[in-house]
Structure 1
Amino acid sequence: MKTTILALSLCYIVSLSSALLGSDKIGINYGRIGNNLPSPYRSIELLQSMNVRHVKLYDSDPEVLKLLSETDIHVSIMVPNDQISRIASNRSEADQWVNLNVLAHYPSTRIRFVLVGNEVFSNNDKQMWLDLVPAMRYIRKSLSELNIHNIKVGTPVAMDVLETSFPPSAGKFRSDIPAQVMRSLMKFLNGTRSFFFLDVYPFFPWSKNPTTMSLDFALLKEGNLTYTDPNSGLIYMNALDQMLDSINFAMAKLGFESIRMAISETGWPHEGDIDQPGANAYNSATYLCNLAAKMSYEPPLGTPARPGVEIPTFIFSLYDENQKPGPGTERHWGILSSSGRSIHQMDLAGSCPAGDKGEARHLAKPVNNRPYKGKIWCVLATKTMREVDLAPAVEFACLQGNATCNELAPGGACYTPVSIVSHANYAFSSYWAKYRGDGASCYFDGLAVQTIVDPSHGSCKFPSVTV
C-alpha cells in the first residue's frame, strides 16, 4: 500500500451547482420511506432541475426507471436483501431478475450499477452473508450473457463491517464474518473492476464522542487540526479520510490493495432529537459543501493512503423520510423537504454558501453542537391524536413489563386523569426511560417526541432520561 502523505486543502470551495449538483462524481440517494413525498414524476423533475447526473435507488421500481429513461441521469438499482439467497441458489432466478429489472429498461434507462443487497453484514442473517457473493456472480453472468458489460455489480456495506477502524492502519474486517466470504467479495470486486461501496458517516463517530473528536475535523473544515497515524505515518485532516482508509487497510490485509472505493451513502442530519448533538442545518450544509469540494476537485484528491484516486460519491439523501424508525436523525437527512424546498435554505442553482473556512455562513450558528445535559422526557408529539392511533402504542409500551405502566393502574399515582392522552404521555416516557439503553427510541411511529419540559403533575412523577 502506498504511504504517500496527502495534504488536503479544502479552501477551494466550488459552487454547489457545479459540485454537489452537477458533478460526474457526485450523485444522490433517492429513498422513499415516507408518506408525504412528491410523486416519482415530480421527483425526477426536481433531480433534473438540480442538474443531478447520478441517482441511487433502493429498489428497481419500474415506474421510476421508466421516468428516468427520458433523462440522461445514470442510475444505480438494488436487489433487495430478501431476494439474495433465492438468486444465489438458482441461476435462473438471477436471469429472471435481470430480465425484469435491467433488460426491460436498459439501455434507454442508463443503469450503471446493480447493487446486491444493502448493508448485508449489518444483518445477522449469516446465511445471507454466505449467499451474497454467489448472488453477485450470478447477476453478473446474466448481464454478460446479454452482452451487457458496462454495468458494474457491487454491494454497499456499513462501517460496522470492520472490527477495528482506528487508527486507520489498524483497519480489519470483523472476525465473525467468515474469511472466505470477505476474500470472495474482494476477489469478485477486483476481478470485475467494480467498487467497494461504503456507507460512511462522520456524524456517528463524532456524535458518540463529541468531546474527543473535533467537530471541524468531522465536518471536513479546513484548519490546522491533523492526526498522524502512528503506524503508517500518514497525516489526516478530516474524519472521512480516516474512515475510508480504515477500509483500504482492511482490504490490503487480505491482499487487495487496488480495489476502487465508492461512497454509497454519506451526509449529515439537519435535525434530530434533544439527545443527539450536532444535528442541525448549519452542520449539514457545511459538511455537504466541503464534501462536494473534496470529491469534485481536479485532479482527484483521494485519501492519504490512496492519493489521486477518484471516489464516486452518493449523498444521502434527496428527501427527509418521515416513516423511517429510530431516533430523530433517521428522518432528517434530506437536502429537500417533502415540498421540494431546500432544507438548508440554499440556492441550489447558485453558489455553495460557504466561507473561506468551509462554513455555512448563510445559516444561524447552531445551539446544539454540545451534548445536552439534563433530563429528557418522551411525550405525545401532538394533542390531536386519535384514540385509535394511541391505544396500540400505549398497549405496546405497557406490555413490555418491567413495571413500565404500574402507576397507570387504578389507585396508581398517574391513574388520573383517566384519558388515553394522559396515559400515553406517561407510558411513552416510562417505556423510553426503561429501554433507551437497549436501543429504544422516543418515536412510536411518529406519535412521540422528546421534551425538556417536565410533564409530571401532582403526585404523578414521569420517569425521565438523564444525559
Structure 2
Amino acid sequence: MVPAQIGVCYGRLGNPRPNPSDVVALYKQRNIKRMRIYDPDQDTLNALRNSNIELILDVPKTDLERIASSQGEADAWIRNNVKNYEGVRFSYPYFSYKDDMKDIPLEYALFKPTPPVIDGQYSYHNLFDAQLDAVYAALEKSGGGSLEVVVSESGWPTQGGPGTSVENAMAYANNLIQHVKSGTPRKPGKAIETYIFAMFDENQKGPPELEKFWGMFLPSQQPKYDVNFN
C-alpha cells in the first residue's frame, strides 16, 4: 500500500485550549505529519518552525477581498504570514469541499461492507469514493484532470446530533486513514491527501450543537478514542 497522506485540522475555537507548542509536540508524538490551520496565528506558526510538519494555511475570509483586489496587499500577506516564518513547511493552495451527515446511511458513510452501487464502469462501496470521483470527473470534463485534489476536511462528531457517537467517530477516523491509501475506483492506487476534522473539541462553535464535538482529543490532550495514524 502507498503510505498514508493524513493530516489533522487544528482549530482553536475552544476554551480552554492547549498551548500551540504542546499541540505541535502532540502531532509529532502521534506521527501526524500534516496540519491545517484556519488563520495565520503567530504562536502556532512559531511553534511549527523546524518541526517538519507540513502545513496548509487558510487565508481568512476577512482577508480575502482585500488581498484579491491588490497585488501589493497579497504580497504583504505572503511576506508577513509565510516568508517571515522560516523553518515552517508550507504546503499549497487547495480547493475545499465539505459535506454533512444529513440523511446518509451509517454503513455507507463509515466504510463498512455494503452492496456496491454501480456507476458506469465503476463500483462504489462508500460515499467517500463516490463524492471524490465526482470531483475528479468534473475536473476532467473541464480540462483540469491533472490537478491534485486534497480532501481538506473529513471527520465525524462524537455527540450533538443523529448518528454521533464515540464509536462511530473512532470507526470513521480509523477506516478513513486506511482507506485513503488505496485511492478511488476512478484512480486506484493513488493515495489521497486527507485532513481529518478535527484535532480538538471546540466549545465556542455552534449551533448546531455537534459543531462543538468533532475533536479526536480533549483540550487536555487526552484522546477521546484510539486512532492509528500509521
Provide TM-score, normalisation by structure 2.
Answer: 0.92
Tell me the distance in 1 between the aligned counterparts of 2:73 and 2:4.
33
Distance 1:256 1:325, change over 3 A: same
Deviations 1:289-348, CA, capped at 9 Å, x for gaps: 1111112x3xxx22112222221111100000000021121111100011111111x2x5
Tell me the distance in 2 between the aligned counterparts of 1:70 and 1:253.
41
Correspondence list, 1:33-44, <5 A: 33-44=13-24
Tell me the distance in 2 between the aligned counterparts of 1:279 and 1:224.
20
Instruction: Please name the residue that 1:236 is paired with.
Output: 124
Q: Say if 2:6 is the partner of 1:26.
A: yes
Shift of 1:234: 1.3
Distance 1:333 1:44, change over 3 A: same
Contact 1:217 1:225 in 2 (8 A): no
Instruction: Please name the residue that 2:107 is paired with.
Output: 216
Distance 1:42 1:234, change over 3 A: same
Correspondence list, 1:226-305, <5 A: 226-229=116-119, 232-272=120-160, 276-295=161-180, 297=181, 301-305=182-186
Distance 1:351 1:291, change over 3 A: closer
Which one-letter code corresponds to 1:153 in the other structure?
P
SS at structure 2 position matched to 1:60: coil
Instruction: Please name the residue that 2:39 is paired with.
Output: 59
Tell me the distance in 2 between the aligned counterparts of 1:110 and 1:35.
28
Which one-letter code corresponds to 1:218 in the other structure?
A
Deviations 1:195-220, CA, capped at 9 Å, x for gaps: xxxx3x4xx3xx4325xx3x222101
Tell me the distance in 2 between the aligned counterparts of 1:29 and 1:313.
10
Larger radius of gyration: 1
Deviations 1:70-95, CA, capped at 9 Å, x for gaps: 41211111211121121122111111
Deviations 1:158-179, CA, capped at 9 Å, x for gaps: 3xxxxxxxxxxxxxxxxxxxxx
Shift of 1:258: 2.8
Residue 94 of structure 2, aligned match among 130, 151, 154? 154
How much identity, in percent, do the aligned residues show?
A: 33
SS at structure 2 position matched to 1:228: strand
Q: Which runs of 5+ in 1 are unaligned?
A: 1-11, 13-18, 113-151, 159-198, 353-467
Deviations 1:395-447, CA, capped at 9 Å, x for gaps: xxxxxxxxxxxxxxxxxxxxxxxxxxxxxxxxxxxxxxxxxxxxxxxxxxxxx
Instruction: Please name the residue that 1:90 is paired with.
Output: 70
Shift of 1:244: 0.8
SS at structure 2 position matched to 1:208: coil
Tell me the distance in 2 between the aligned counterparts of 1:103 and 1:342.
34
Correspondence list, 1:316-465, <5 A: 316-344=197-225, 346=226
Deviations 1:367-402, CA, capped at 9 Å, x for gaps: xxxxxxxxxxxxxxxxxxxxxxxxxxxxxxxxxxxx
Which one-letter code corresponds to 1:109 in the other structure?
V
Higher relative contact order (CA 8 A, sep 6+): 2
SS at structure 1 position matched to 2:31: coil
Contact 2:4 2:177 in 1 (8 A): no
SS at structure 2 position matched to 1:154: coil
Which one-letter code corresponds to 2:58 in the other structure?
M
Distance 1:60 1:90, change over 3 A: same
Distance 1:246 1:155, change over 3 A: closer
Provide TM-score, normalisation by structure 1.
Answer: 0.47
Which one-letter code corresponds to 2:8 in the other structure?
I
Tell me the distance in 1 between the aligned counterparts of 2:127 and 2:155.
13
Distance 1:48 1:327, change over 3 A: same
Shift of 1:24: 5.5
Q: How many residues align?
A: 230
Correspondence list, 1:76-155, <5 A: 76-106=56-86, 108-112=87-91, 152-155=92-95
Tell me the distance in 1 between the aligned counterparts of 2:152 and 2:175.
17
Q: Say if 2:110 is the partner of 1:225.
A: no
Shift of 1:285: 0.5
Contact 1:24 1:53 in 2 (8 A): no
Deviations 1:49-73, CA, capped at 9 Å, x for gaps: 1121111111111211111104121
Tell me the distance in 2 between the aligned counterparts of 1:43 and 1:332.
18
Which one-letter code corresponds to 2:152 in the other structure?
S
Instruction: Please name the residue that 1:124 is paired with.
Output: none
Contact 1:27 1:56 in 2 (8 A): yes
Tell me the distance in 1 between the aligned counterparts of 2:202 and 2:21.
17
Contact 1:29 1:314 in 2 (8 A): yes
Which one-letter code corresponds to 2:214 in the other structure?
W
Which one-letter code corresponds to 1:51 in the other structure?
N
